[in-house]
Amino acid sequence: MNAVTHALSIEVNGRPIEAEVEPRQSLADFLREDLLLTGTHLGCEHGVCGACTILIDGAPARSCIAFPVALEGAKITTIEGLIDDPVMVELRAAFTREHALQCGFCTPGMLVMARDIVLRRPGLDTDAIRHELAGNLCRCTGYVGIIKAIQSVAAERAGEAPLVTRGTLVAPPLYASPLTLPVPPTSRIGIIEPQKAPAAAPEDAAFTIEPLRNPIEIVQEFDVGAPRATVWALFQDPARVIACLPGASLSEPSDGRSLKAEMRVKLGPMQAAFGGVGQISADPSTWSGAIDGRGVDARSATRVQARLVYRLEEKSENGTHVCVDVAYVLQGPLAQMSRGAIARDLAARLTGAFAANLDGAVKGGVLAPQAAPLDAGSLVLSLLKGWLARLFGRG
């Protein structure tokens, strides 16, 4: 028997959404499973622990006991929608400074509630904060760091007019400009704007370059044994450049100004295939250029937005110094791959492989498109071996 569903129009993090929902589906499950907004955590599922706290029309609410079918026309804000909100930026810094998190499971709900507290009651004392946080439980911290963090932000707002949030809109969150999310094959979600033909993928739309917010940046420099003009000519040929990058391949021929490509990455049992689009620009007068791109792994809905800037310097008659600056933002389930020193070392080793392939290509080598995915696992193993060698090689 097919489940009965109801049409729903709702706004989530500033994005209008249309969906068919079952009456029994909770808002938490709708956000996590259908919209892939997994920053909203599920704990007790009885409205007690506060881990699933989000904003409904500006007021904090438990998403595990709220139901989308009853929220027609509502404006929902999750922790992802508050990434650039100025009050949330202050709170995240204060939570870090005061060591206000350990396992982090309660933290999204704590932060959403803390934002509401400091807006409604600027300058409040610790006893008042404890009372306000009575519905948000933490099993790790003992609350001391959390209280100090919230109090420090509230103290900075002392003297400001309190904002009523219960039943009315709080100060509108400052939304980040999200990349277009793919619609999972089993999802019932449809984005209202913009309208697209069902067969069109999000990457088929006209590509618009957007500024990167809090990117990971990696700068690499290397030498290529070829004249600068030869290296420059290679950089103007997207097919040859992509062929030098492990795990990457063009999805279709490039016109020299835009490209469609795929990057396949393997990390142990996990595999991702980021399909996306890019724009190419070049300035011959400065021997520099840029590639801006974005992509999505259809399986995990992890999104990546990146900008690569290169500059060629003449080192000698038959040598070129290449400077590459890469900035990227990874959002979604695989975002942990972009964190820490390991990610930077992996990127450095990837750049090293790219440099070696580039050097071979400009010297007349013909590189076939990369069929095998980039095996990040083998790079990690190589990285660990290098660390161990340096550690035990000290005398």
Token digits of residue 141:
């911290």
The pLDDT of 73-87, averaged and rounded, is 93
Pick 392 or 293 by higher pLDDT: 293
Lowest mean pLDDT of 21-30, 83-92, 111-120, 187-196, name the range.
187-196
Rg (CA), the chain: 25
Residues 54, 63 contacting (CB under 8 angstroms): yes
Residue type, 200: A
pLDDT in tens, 324-368: 887 777 776 666 555 445 555 566 667 777 777 887 887 765 544
**Mean pLDDT, rounded, for 25-40:** 92
pLDDT-above-70 percentage for the chain: 72
pLDDT score of 251 more than 80:
yes
Cα–Cα distances in angstroms (integers) from residue 260 to residues 136, 197, 229, 240, 332, in the given order: 46, 19, 26, 14, 21
What is the domain partition of the chain in residue ranges? 1-178, 203-392
Residue 382: predicted pLDDT: 54
Q: Between 382 and 73, whose confidence is greater? A: 73
Q: Looking at residue 234, what is its pLDDT?
A: 87
Better-predicted residue by pLDDT, 243 or 388: 243
Produce one character per residue of 113-134: b if its CB has 16 or more CB atoms within 10 Å, e if not: bbbbbbbbbbebeeeebeebbe
91 touches 115 (CB < 8 A): yes
Q: Which single residue is written with the structure tokens 């900008």? A: 307
Fold match, 1-178 / 203-392: no
Superfamily of domain 203-392: START domain (3.30.530.20)
Q: With 90 as the cut, is the pLDDT of residue 65 above it?
A: yes
- Predicted local confidence at residue 187, as pLDDT: 34
CB 274 within 8 A of CB 338: no
d(CA 316, CA 323): 15
pLDDT in tens, 49-62: 999 999 999 889 99
Q: Quote the CA–CA distance of 128 and 224 in Å, as a whole number.
A: 64
Largest interatomic CA distance in the chain:
75
pLDDT at 336: 54
Q: What is the pLDDT of residues 91-140, one digit of tens each?
A: 999 999 999 999 999 999 999 999 999 998 888 888 889 988 989 999 99
State the first-to-last Cα distance of the chain, in angstroms, to the nearest integer.
72
CATH 3.30.70.260 fits 1-178, yes or no: no
Number of residues that this document lists for the chain: 395
For the CA atoms of 361, 363, 365, 370, the dihedral, rounded to the nearest 10 degrees, stands at: -20
